[in-house]
Each structure stands twice: as structure tokens, then as C-alpha cells.
Structure 1
Amino acid sequence: MQDTRLYDMVKSGRFITAPGIQDMITAVIARKVGFDAVYGSGYWLTASGLGLPDAGIASVTQMVDRMEKLVESAQTPVIADADTGFGGLLNVHHTVKAYEKAGVSAIQIEDQEFPKKCGHTPFKRVIPVEDMVEKIKVACDARSDERFLIIARTDVMQSGGYNAVEDRMGAFAEAGADILFPEALTNTDDMRRICKAVDKPMVANMADGGLTPIRPASELEELGFKMAIFPAMTSLVAAAAVEKALISLKQTGTSLEGPEMFNFKEFCELIGFDKVWEFERKWAKD
């Protein structure tokens, strides 16, 4: 059954803040904290699962598997990065079907050439707007439930400038996209302009280390956005903590001198050991 909670939040106009999730440990911690939705980042799920860059190398099958596990672990609506739809129109059709079956609540498709590149890195090339419009129409037609949301992203800012972004967002809205994603805007003036220019919910990409200035949710809402994803924060924080802990271990020879750790007993409960132990108490033989 489709998880419609994200659809309901979007329709209500409620602002949504979604942290990026790179692995299932982060997913269960986000569940504990209580976010209304999470973002399945293609960059970071590929990095954590395969040790590869976000350059169109991961296959649709690999990403669907990761998204399905994320849905199970997070137990909250998942906004899922699907790159370009992993190819042409037929690929988009099958990608939408697979992601919807995996249980995600929204699928994000971008207008880059395939294979794609991370939106905040160089050498991106976009497809003609007419081709992306066709992808959006195919995506809308492929879903079995209209509450499964289609997010259309454009990466045209670096090659075409703001006017090209506005033109594409308008075309994508007319094609049927539920949410629009203007990637890699570089200043708050353009962020405000795009939200006023097109009457569709807009998502802001708060990618730490990227091209767009990081703004708090309250300011993004004031600018006109309805959703903010923070795709890199948890991954970069985790990488910094791991590096610090490993340096300490190498220097001191013990884990007792490193940074503060998450409580092991609590983590066992988060990951589901309490249910394992309950089962064993019920069925274990003396």
C-alpha cells in the first residue's frame, strides 16, 4: 500500500525538512529523532553502499534495493533520488514502477544527460527541455497512484542561467510534475524569484559544500519553498566523526580516548535486537 503521508503534507502546505540518509544506521537514528520525511540521496547511498562517485555508475537495480531498505528502516516517507530515470523514456517508465513498488513516496528525476553527474560538480550537460517534458509525462503515466509524487529537477543553471531555470520549471509544471527542484541556485534573490515565478511546490537543496547558500528552514519557507532536503549533512558529520575516532585509536591504541559514542544498548534496541530477544525468550528451549 502506498504511503500517502508525504502527499498529504504537501497538499496541506506544511513545510517539510528532510535529512539525507546514506545508510540504514542513519535511517534508524532519523526515525528516533522523528523527522516527517527523509531523503534517499543518490550521491551518498552510492558512496556508502558501493564506494563510488555519483556519476551514473550505480544501476537502477542497485538503487531500488537501497531505497527499499531505506523505506523499511526509516519507517517514514522517503523522497528518492532517481537520477535521470536511468536512461530514456522506457527506462523512466520502469524506474517509476520499481520505485513505487519499493514503497518510496516521491521520485526525483533530473534533466541531465545520462550518465548524470552530481548537481554541484562540473561538466554537467542537460537534455533538451522537450525531452525532459516527455520524461515527466511518462513518469506521471507510469505511476499507479497519483499520490506517488513526481519531482522534476533542472540542472540548467550553470550552463543556461536563471532565465533557463525559470523556463524549464514552467515547462515541467505544465507537463504534470507535482514538485519542482531548481538545482544549484547560487543566491537568495534567485531562490525567491523562482518560487514566485511558478505556482508549484518548490524544493530547496541545502547541500553542504555545494553551490547553493545554506539557509534555515524558516528562511526557506519565507522565500517561498515548501520543502528542504539536507542531503550531505549526516554523511559529512559521520565521516568527520569516524576520521576523528580512527585518528584517536591510531594514536592512543584505545577507543576510550576518542569522541563521544552512541549508547550501545540504545542502538541495539533501535536496530531491532529487542524483538530478537523477545522471540528467544518466547521460543528458547532450556
Structure 2
Amino acid sequence: MDAFQAIVLGIVQGLTEFLPISSTAHLRLVPAFAGWDDPGTAFTAVVQLGTMAAVLLYFREDLWNIARAWLRSLRDPEARGTLDARLGWYLIIGTIPVSILGVLFKDKIETDARQLVLIGIALIVLGIVLEIAEKVGRKEREIDSLTLRDGVIIGCAQAAALVPGVSRSGSTISAGLFLGLERAAAARYSFLLSVPAVVLSGLFELKDVGNGGGAGAVPTIIATIFAFIVGYASIAWFLKYLTRHPVTVFVVYRVVLGVVVLALVASGTLSG
């Protein structure tokens, strides 16, 4: 991978990590469309650290308050009922499903799950689920109404994003909408929930950067920097967009892209 490819893929990661269109799928599809080599799962996981750095910076006050309240709740029972302390527990509990399944099915995720046919199907199916969630969700709850049950359900939804094409934000926002959360509240919690899982995944995969023909260390660093810059702007835009608009445009994009991928594979234009 050269510097140009690294910059392009970093921008792609920054643009798609927080939109419900699957950054993992795009980091697989863009090289396939361009005739580049697959950068590999290690590259994908590590570059996501750039967008997670954007989350840490954008939500720094929220995350600091949550961490501080959670630590206080360990020694002070009265503090356990506060919103920030509860969010701390929900984020931890919500990370357990994706952590367990990620370890158990690591080999499958790195091989079979990256097939273009599966990605195309996942793009279409989750797009339909997202549209249903948009239509039936009451969109009347804020983050302060979250319960342990909500945390578990959204955490399980996050685990579905281990399949490229599903989308971490897409699956968790869909779950939030089904649970009655407002769009922006669902997205905000989705971004907060992504922090532990993506950081753990990225650090775990650091040792494998450059192995098995994947992207080397220098291109990975370049892509991570661009993912951070673009990702920060993407968060701000998406949260503002959701306060006034439905997610339908992303649903249409997902379905069209999924159909195109399946058609290109079926015609032999893409091998996958």
C-alpha cells in the first residue's frame, strides 16, 4: 500500500465509521473497486483507533464524567444511581457480547466474513432493518432514560457489526430506535459504546499490522491520522443531521451499494 492509498482509505474510514453504512465494508470494497490489495483486518482494526481518538476528543467531557462517576460508584453506593455511573456500567456490559464473539470467531471474521457476497447481503439486510427502526421507533426517549435492559440489547446489537457490512453505528442506532430513543440520542450512545470495543480491538490487532500481506506500519499510521481528522468532522455533522432528518438516505445508499456489489460479483467483475 502506498501513501495515496493510505490517505484515501483513512478518509474513507473517517467518513464511514460514524455513518450507518459500515466502515469495515468500505475498507474492503474501495480497494476491491480500485483494484488494490485488501488491506487486511489488522489495518481495519488499527485505523479505527484514529476515529476512536476523534470520539475521545469530541466526547471528552462526557467520557471523563462517566469514568469519574463510575469509579466513585465502586466505593459509594449512593453514587450508583447517577446517570454517568449507570452509563459507565452500561458501556462495560454492552462491550461484553462483542468482545466474547470477537475472540471466539476471530478466524471466521478475518476470512469468511470478508467475502464480498456476504458484505453485499449485510448492507441490504441492515439497511432494511434500519428503515424499519426509523418507521416504528417512537423517538421520544433521551439518554437519561436508558436502563440496564437497554444497555444489554444495544450491546448485543453491536456484536452483529463483527460482520462487515452490518455497521456498528447502524446496528446500535437501529436498536436504540427500536427502544424508542431519539435519533441523536441513539447515535450519541452508539458512539460512546463503540469506544471500549474499538480500542480493545485496535490494540489487540496492532501486533498483526503488516502480516499476511496486509498494509505495513507506515501506511497504517498515515491512514489513522486522516481517519482522526475526517472522523471528528463526521461526528459533528452526523449528530446535527440527525436532529432534523431521518436515516432514509443512508438506507437507500446501503441497499443500492449492496445490490451493486452482488451484481458485480455475479457478473464476475469482482471476485469475492
Higher-Rg structure is 1
* Shared fold (TM-score, shorter chain, > 0.5): no
Q: TM-score, normalised by structure 1?
A: 0.28
Higher-helix-fraction structure: 2
Q: TM-score, normalised by structure 2?
A: 0.29
The higher-RCO structure (CA 8 Å, 6+ apart) is: 2
